[in-house]
């Protein structure tokens, strides 16, 4: 079992920056892909960014490309999401997620880790709220 704990959310004005952190514990060796998704009230989960842990290949949603950066610190077992140039439409609960399914991995890591699948990853944290005011 993988245990994820997010932190770093808060309230900022449009144009500001935040960095979210996700501490990973438990069966970390089973994770091959991690990512962030967000969910605003009344909306479905939206994949934001993902990273293949072995080679650090990253994927981004069009809405956040060139503004958000996903990264990992293997020594600290921590995943980050640096968010710059924040917009009011970025307001949401942000969740860290991990994919561990060998069956899904067998279908191809690039497919398994794509942004559109992040909300389907089997392991999530409790979320951290990001609020951007105009």
Asked if residue 7 lies in contact with residue 129, where contact means CB atoms within 8 angstroms, the answer is no
At residue 3, the pLDDT reads 95
The confidence score (pLDDT) of residue 30 equals 87
Do 91 and 132 touch, CB atoms closer than 8 A?
A: yes
Give the pLDDT confidence score for residue 133 in this predicted structure: 97
| pLDDT for position 110 | 87
pLDDT per residue as tens, the chain (134 positions): 899 999 999 999 999 999 999 999 998 888 999 999 999 999 999 999 999 999 999 999 999 999 999 999 988 899 999 999 999 999 999 999 999 998 888 888 888 999 989 989 999 999 999 999 99
pLDDT at 93: 98
What local confidence, expressed as pLDDT, does residue 5 receive?
97
pLDDT given for residue 9 in this prediction:
97
Q: What is the DSSP string of 25-77?
A: EESGGG--EEEEEEE-TTS--EEEEEEETTT--EEE-TTTTTTEEEEEETTTT
Q: What is the pLDDT of residue 106?
A: 87
């Amino acid at each position: 079992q993988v245990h994820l704990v997010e932190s770093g959310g808060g309230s900022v004005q449009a144009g500001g920056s935040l960095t979210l952190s996700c501490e990973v514990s438990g069966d970390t060796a089973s994770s091959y892909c991690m990512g962030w998704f967000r969910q605003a009230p009344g909306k479905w989960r939206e994949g934001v960014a993902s990273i293949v842990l072995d080679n650090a290949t990253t994927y981004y949603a069009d809405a956040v490309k060139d503004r958000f950066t996903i990264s990992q610190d293997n020594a600290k077992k921590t995943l980050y999401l640096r968010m710059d140039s924040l917009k009011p439409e970025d307001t949401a609960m942000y969740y860290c997620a991990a994919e561990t399914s060998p069956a899904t991995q067998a279908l191809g890591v690039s497919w398994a880790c794509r942004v559109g699948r992040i909300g389907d990853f089997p392991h999530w944290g409790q979320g951290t709220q990001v609020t951007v005011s105009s």
